[in-house]
Structure formats: structure tokens, C-alpha cells
Amino acid sequence: MNPDVLLSAIIFLPALGALILAFLDSRAVAQIRAIALGFTVVTFVLTLLLWGQFKYDVPGMQMVVEKDWIGTWNVFYRLGVDGISLPLVILTSMVSMLAAVASWSINKQHKGYFILFLLLETGMLGVFLSLDFFLFFVFWEVMLLPMYFLIGVWGGPRREYAAIKFFLYTLVGGVLMLIAMLMFYFNSGATTDSFNLIELAKAASGTSETLTKTLSPNLQITAFVLLFIGFAIKLPAFPFHTWLPDAHVEAPTPISMILAGVLLKLGGYGIIRVAFPLCPYGAYYAAYALVAIGVFSIIYGAFAALAQTDFKRLVAYSSVSHMGYVLIGLGVWKIGEATGKTINPDMWLMGINGAMFQMIAHGVSSAGMFFMVGVIYDRVHHRDLNQFGGLMGRMPLYSGLAAGLFFAGLGLPGLCGFIGEIFVVLSAWNYSPTLAIVAASGVILTAGYILWAMQRVYMGSEYKGPHSEDITPINGRELTVAGVLLAFAIILGVFPGILFDMMQSSTSALVDSMQLGYEKAAATLNELQAMR
């Protein structure tokens, strides 16, 4: 398929589905579900097609589409894919598809739900595929509307609180990003490439042919902080994480899957696609903070998870903990004071790769965990960890699959969670032994809270909560979702090379350009000092 068409089709196909749904009779529930699912499936197939056309050895962007959009502001409709975005695109379409299957449990206002659901998918895919800062921002904010309603209308008892909290945090992040966006636009001369993420990145490393100006090193720090807070909110990193437990807990199961599976990745993706390449000096300047925040998130999230009695909340905090690894992996950039060169660039490369892998892995495992919580919640309508037990006997297949997915979250070798965590941690000693040790201690706590939760839910002699009579074995639809996720968890865990091969050339290029960017900024600073 023509790449121009393919990328746009991937983004807008779900939106088209939403449009079609809008004209359906709201009582035709079966058709609505089928059409929505159909569109997610086709989108998924298209992303696989994208994968098929993807060339592994190209370091930069591929299949770039560039069309005029808003000329007066030099805003272009720029799309493209590289090794960093491709895995996330595939993850998004897959999780969306599975979440659509999981959406059978939605029991009111189906039409509105699926319309918003599909719009959400469009927003997510748009963020991953856009190469124009403005377009990126537009898609970023577009996700807000559907998400607000998906949580607010179809959520749990405190849904309104959760929805607005989500809205608030995201908006704060968006506003900060907006300011950073303006900084880049005007400081690069407000030319046709001033919203072009690729050219801006090149400008930062001094290799752009079209942009000669960019942020000064000091402004880079400001811009990086603005962008980082914006993205850290999504990630979420301590201390910007408090929206997450509420949103996750109150959202309906499929939306929790998407939240954990995809939305959190937007934060990491934003850092790696926007914040890092555009302000390399800022990134270097803040690297220690990044790693420290990551480490603290890991420990803090794990401890908080340990104390939860709500099953879903526990899983939500586990996300905080797991996403901490992403920050560590991205931040382990060490530069020798004397040489101005990256010390052990391969270690940092490994960290970035590990962080990327961790994002994908967490997308699979946490989506799975949320789904598993949802399956049992659909039956017994409570999530109190102290009122479960004995499910292993009552729902053996479900418990087996759940154990697999929880082990994936625990970071068991052979499942996806392990590779990301371990690679990130291995790359961390080079940066800071202390932080690396603290990060590594996360393995104990993680094992603690996951095993403790599993013990309370799946083991034990009998089920202790209400609605015992409603506990029925897992059905085929649920089995499909869980099975697919578990299969992905195993495949990624056993053959992580699939992903690493995909990302390799892009991440190496990133590391190189960051090094150049740092050197350029350092040179500028030296000049300034000399002038004084």
C-alpha cells in the first residue's frame, strides 16, 4: 500500500468507524459492537502491513508524508514512522482491538461508548505517527475528550472525580507542552520547518540544513523541564502520578487496558521523540533528575501497591512502579567532563532500548492484568483483595492465565516484563551505582506485592466475598483476550530480538544525534564564556 495512504488510513480509519457508528440506530447493539470491532481489527491489520513495509536498516524516518495544513503558521500534516514509533503503533492497535473485545461488558449507551472509543484510538495512533509538533499536540489533546467521557460516563462510583482529575492533569501537561512548542517555533525562526520534529531535532544537533537557529543551551533546559513535566504526568512519574490510581480504578475495564497499555506510553514516547532530541543539552542537564525520579517511582509505586486492598488500585500502582524503569533507561546518559563524550554510549543505548522494550512489555502485561481484574469484577462486582480467595479452584483456566500475566508484570524471565526491567537496570550502574542499587531492589518489592495479591485472590481454600454463586468459568471471549496478551507476553519475553531489531537503527541514531547535540550546546556555552 502506498505509504501516504497507509499512515493516514491507520490514523483515521477508527475515526471513520466512529462516523459510521454515529449514523446507526443506538439500539442495534450487536451491529455497533461488530462494526467497532471490525474497524479496530482492520486497523490492526493495517499496522501489521506497516510493519511489513518497514525497513529495519533505515535509521531515520520512513514513509514520510508531508502535506500543507495551516500554512500561515507553518503547520504541516507530517507523518512518518521509525523504529521507535512502529512498535508502539502496533501495540496501540493491538491493545485497542483487544479492548474492543473486552468492551462487550459495557452495558449502557453502547453507541456513544464505541464512538468515543474509536476516536480515542485515532488520537493515540495520531500521536505516535505524527512528525509535526503541532499535529502531535493536536492528537495529544484530542485524546482528552473521549477519555474524559469514557471514564466519566462508563466508570465506577467515583468516576466523575477520576475523570476530571485525569482531565486536569492532562491539561496541565498540555499547557506546558504548548509553551515549549512556542519556544521551539519562535526560536527556530518561525520557518516552514519550525514545527518539524525531525528538523528541530537535527537543528539541536547542528545537522539541519533548513534550520540554523534553535534554542540556546539555557533555554533548552527550560524547554526540557516544561516538556518533561508534561510527559511525566502521562508517564506517570512521581510526584505527578496521583491521577493514575483514580483514573485506572474508576475507568471501565477496557479503558483501563487502554490507559495502562497505551496512554502511559505516550509519556515515554513524548520524552524520547520530542523532549530528548529537541533539547539534548536540557536532557543531559536533567538526566540525573530523570533517573532519580524513575528510581523513586519504582520504589514508591511498589510500596504503595503493597498497601492497597483494592485489586485494581494495586495494579494501577504497579504501573507507576513499572514506568519508573522507562525513565531510568532513558536517563542513564553520562558524559565525561574532560572529553565531552558519552561514557559507554552502548550502555545508554541499551538503557533506551530497555526503556522502549519496557513500555511495550508493560503495555502487554498491564493491559492483561487490568483485564484480569475486570473479568473477576464483572462476576462478583467488588475488588476488595481481602474478599477473594480460592479462585484457582473455582476458575482454574482464568487463574492460570492471570498467573501468567501477573508473572509477566513481576518480571519473570521468559515473559515480557523481565527483559525491559533487567536491561534498564543493567545499564544503570554505569550511570550511578547508588541509583542502580536502589532500582534493583525493586525486584524484591515487586515480587512482594504481586505474589501477595495473587495469594489473596487466587489461592486459599475458598472464596470469601459476596456473589459467590456468580463465579462462572472464563468464557471464550475473555479467553481470547487474555490468551492473546499472554501469548504476546511470552513471545516478547522469549524473543525480545523481534523488538530490538526493529528499534536498533533508530535508537542508535538517537544516541548519536544526542551526543552531537550536547557537543554543539557545550561549544555554544564555551563561546559565551569566552565572550564574557
Whether residue 113 contacts residue 42, with contact meaning beta carbons closer than 8 Å, is answered with no
Nearest residue (CB) to other proteins, 462 versus 527: 462
Q: Which stretch binds other proteins (CB under 8 A): 197-205, 207-215, 237-245, 262-270?
A: 237-245
Dig out the grid coordinates for 140 from the structure. Answer: 495529544
Among 32, 65, 347, 376, binds other proteins (CB under 8 A): 347
Nearest residue (CB) to other proteins, 88 versus 305: 305
* Rounded distance between C-alpha atoms, residue 119 and residue 82, angstroms: 24
Burial group, residue 471, by CB count within 10 angstroms (0-12, 13-18, 19+): middle
What part of residues 460-499 is at the interface with other proteins (CB under 8 A)?
460-462, 464, 495-497
Cβ atoms within 10 Å of 69's Cβ, excluding its own: 16
Q: Which stretch binds other proteins (CB under 8 A): 13-21, 37-45, 379-387, 407-415?
A: 407-415
Tell whether residue 406 is a contact of other proteins (CB under 8 A).
no
Burial group, residue 156, by CB count within 10 angstroms (0-12, 13-18, 19+): middle
* Rounded distance between C-alpha atoms, residue 168 and residue 105, angstroms: 28
Nearest residue (CB) to other proteins, 253 versus 427: 427
Pairing mode of beta strands 62-70, 75-81: antiparallel
Smallest CA-to-CA distance from 82 within 381, 513, 489, 470 is with 513
Tell whether residue 145 is a contact of other proteins (CB under 8 A).
yes
DSSP string, 37-103: HHHHHHHHHHHHHHHHH--TT--S-EEEEEEEEEGGGTEEEEEEE-TTHHHHHHHHHHHHHHHHHHG
Nearest residue (CB) to other proteins, 53 versus 434: 434
Shortest Å distance, C-beta 472 to other proteins: 16
Among 59, 156, 448, 483, binds other proteins (CB under 8 A): 448
Tell whether residue 510 is a contact of other proteins (CB under 8 A).
no
Dihedral sign, CA of 201, 77, 17, 51? Answer: negative
Among 37, 153, 479, 491, binds other proteins (CB under 8 A): 153
Nearest residue (CB) to other proteins, 7 versus 97: 7
What part of residues 313-342 is at the interface with other proteins (CB under 8 A)?
339
Half-sphere exposure of 137 (CA within 13 A, CB side): 20
Shortest Å distance, C-beta 251 to other proteins: 14
- By residue count, the chain amounts to 532
Tell whether residue 49 is a contact of other proteins (CB under 8 A).
no
Tell whether residue 69 is a contact of other proteins (CB under 8 A).
yes
Q: Which stretch binds other proteins (CB under 8 A): 71-79, 259-267, 358-366, 370-378?
A: 71-79
Shortest Å distance, C-beta 440 to other proteins: 4
Site string for other proteins, 268-307 (x = CB under 8 A): --------------------------------x--xxxxx
3-class SS string, 391-425: HHHHCHHHHHHHHHHHHHHHCCCCCHHHHHHHHHH
Nearest residue (CB) to other proteins, 51 versus 452: 452
Tell whether residue 183 is a contact of other proteins (CB under 8 A).
yes
Dihedral sign, CA of 118, 124, 130, 136? Answer: positive
Tell whether residue 72 is a contact of other proteins (CB under 8 A).
yes
Whether residue 323 contacts residue 236, with contact meaning beta carbons closer than 8 Å, is answered with yes
Among 60, 189, 345, 465, binds other proteins (CB under 8 A): 345
